[in-house]
Structure 1
Amino acid sequence: MRSLPPLNALIAFEAVARTGSVASAAEELFVTSGAISRQLKALDEFFETSLFEKHGRGLALTPSGATYFQRISAHVEGIRQATRSMQGDELRPVVRLHSYTTFATRWLIPRLSRFQVTHPRIDVRLTTSSEWIDGIDCDATIRLGEGHWPGYETMPLVANVLVAVCSPKLIQKSRPIDEVWLHGQTLLEVTARPDDWTTWCLSAGFDPGAMERKRTFESSTLAYEAAQQGLGIVVAQEILVADELATERLIAPFDVRVDQGTETYYLVVPTGRRHRAGVRELRDALSAPQGIQATSGAR
């Protein structure tokens, strides 16, 4: 008899026993559930006994399997830790990043995905909230404002342009798109952005006080989704609905775009952390768009 079992089967067994399911082990090891099941069968054949038994809709360790897992688990974890140390994972730079939820899902996360491909050794740990949280302790944050925060280095990320958008299904070709049409629509508002409609209406030359039918949402994400479903019209930040506009899931019925200038989203880094490993690379990857200059928080 061989002194060692098939190592792939051993790793699969340890993962299933530790996580409690074939599916979780498969996800961790980046293989299919079928592949895990085949490895477990190979290990059963090696020992000529069953290490798992069916328990309801899942699996449970047999007495032999429990004893074996207890004896090998520390050794497998030791191999795992030694490998991490050899690869330098214990020294990986960690960047704690905080963002508004809508901005994260619609703009930041796709760019972080590309960043992780080009910088696999940098561990970016993202947290989000629907509103700004004072005093949050992070290596970098996404913040909306004018870019002037003493003690912080700031870099603008996008042009912040307001545009009214709605589903194409609200447009009737026989009816002109004008202020009268707008009065007949339901205005979708966002709790955290109460001034957007007033700002846009004044720029368009419309009376914001004449709009009576309104619905309020706690986040821009919900308001944008409601607009796509034809529930009304919303003033959106153009950069955050770019995909919907490109695919015409949303359209801009009025040719009115309100550029908010320097009031936009910034990458904000405490001056004492701007040269920290990982932060520099993240800042370069999220470099400012042309035409908007980075500012110093020392101002």
Structure 2
Amino acid sequence: MSLSLPPLKALKVFEAAARTRSLTIAAHELHITHSAVSQQIKLLEEHFGQPLFIRLPRGVEATEAAQAFYTEVRAALDRIAMAAEQLTLTGKNRIVRLITAPSVAMRWLIPRLSQFQIDNPRIEVRVTTTVSEHFEDLKDPFDVVLWRSPLERSGFECVRFLDDVSAPLASPHYLELHPINKPADLLQASLIHLSVRADAWQQWLIKAGVPVKKKLPGTSYEHFFLSLQAASTDLGVAMGSLALVDDDLSHGRLRQLFPEVVLHGQGFHMLHRTGETNGNALKTFITWLMQMGAASAYDPGKIYSADSMT
């Protein structure tokens, strides 16, 4: 018995409206009129015999049932897009599409990619970055997402591949000008905060046994790579993930303060597509990522002393 499919054109409109929560934005994204979006949504609602959206003063919100349907529709559309691209690329280089934060791309992934491309010349890795903290905001089709927390999505598997251990970081020159001999001395230092990890300093100081107030002074930056640049240019002490600053530590551009006290995060996770959509190319890339993550595992005995820095 053949399955009864809803109007396929309307599904794409439904996906855009549910994701953006706006008929107007969906119309702009799909290059059609607001009226055309409304007509396609009405067509789907008639097909299912129930409303799919709740009209709000500003925008729309999918009903509970429609939200569950949206999750499956989006995954299906992604699979169709990937299958179409792979059909187009038959006999050509295989493509693996990856999305991650700029800091992870610049500080960890890209420096390692050159060797992967040398070893796998027929696999093209396309890296896209996002500054959003919300996984739901990602709309581009992807095979792999690297994220600082576990993720869930139909048709994908999530695995932890890289340790996320944070510690205070400062430039040697800053420490010469502002000696820090014990954790409490940090209360007098220029602390560099990361807006999306606003409580990191408070957590670390408490773990180090330093009583702190609810509000710590200092300068706040929106992105990790900006806070890292500030620390590298002698503006203060930043709190950063050691996996993303290994090169800076080994070459002496930054120093890790009080290595015996660190913050352990959930770890960086890899959400990857399952099935045979990308065949051996995706499997090869996933295996490589896991190997690179293991090679970057946190080692509490690895301390960069002043004598070892060059």
Normalised TM-score (structure 2): 0.59
1:98 and 1:126 in contact (8 A); partners too: yes
Q: Aligned letter for 1:207?
A: P
CA distance in 2, matches of 1:120, 1:291: 22
- Which residue in the other structure is 1:95 paired with? 96
CA offsets 1:198-217 (integer angstroms, 9 cap, x no match): 22122211234277431011
- Match 2:289 to one of 283, 286, 289: 286
CA offsets 1:250-282 (integer angstroms, 9 cap, x no match): 112323442526x11122113346763421110
Bigger CA radius of gyration: 1
- Which residue in the other structure is 1:225 paired with? 229
1:173 to partner: Cα distance: 8.8
The question of 1:188 aligning with 2:192 is answered yes
Give SS of 1:223's match. Answer: helix
CA distance in 1, matches of 2:246, 2:101: 17
1:153 and 1:274 in contact (8 A); partners too: no
1:161 and 1:257 in contact (8 A); partners too: no
CA distance in 1, matches of 2:147, 2:180: 39
- Match 2:267 to one of 258, 264, 269: 264
Q: Aligned letter for 2:270?
A: L
Q: 1:201 to 1:98 in 2, by over 3 A?
A: same
The question of 1:107 aligning with 2:108 is answered yes
Q: 1:173 to 1:186 in 2, by over 3 A?
A: closer
Q: Which runs of 5+ in 2 are unaligned?
A: 1-88, 298-310
1:128 to partner: Cα distance: 0.3
Give SS of 1:98's match. Answer: strand
1:234-245 matches, within 5 Å, as 234-245=238-249
Give SS of 1:248's match. Answer: coil
User: What is the number of equivalent residue pairs in this alignment?
Assistant: 205
The question of 1:145 aligning with 2:149 is answered yes
CA offsets 1:118-155 (integer angstroms, 9 cap, x no match): 11111211100123442433111111114666653123
- Match 2:279 to one of 262, 276, 281: 276
CA distance in 1, matches of 2:200, 2:221: 13
1:183 and 1:211 in contact (8 A); partners too: no
CA distance in 2, matches of 1:92, 1:124: 10
CA distance in 1, matches of 2:90, 2:278: 20
Normalised TM-score (structure 1): 0.61
- Which residue in the other structure is 1:214 paired with? 218
1:95 to partner: Cα distance: 1.1
Give SS of 2:105's match. Answer: helix
CA distance in 2, matches of 1:195, 1:279: 37
The question of 1:121 aligning with 2:122 is answered yes
Q: Aligned letter for 2:200?
A: D
CA offsets 1:51-106 (integer angstroms, 9 cap, x no match): xxxxxxxxxxxxxxxxxxxxxxxxxxxxxxxxxxxxx9852211111111001001
Give SS of 1:213's match. Answer: coil
Q: 1:280 to 1:244 in 2, by over 3 A?
A: same
Q: 1:102 to 1:273 in 2, by over 3 A?
A: farther
- Which residue in the other structure is 1:246 paired with? 250
1:154 and 1:268 in contact (8 A); partners too: yes
CA RMSD between the two structures = 2.9
1:161 and 1:238 in contact (8 A); partners too: yes
Q: Which runs of 5+ in 1 are unaligned?
A: 1-87, 294-299
Q: 1:273 to 1:260 in 2, by over 3 A?
A: farther
Give SS of 2:255's match. Answer: coil
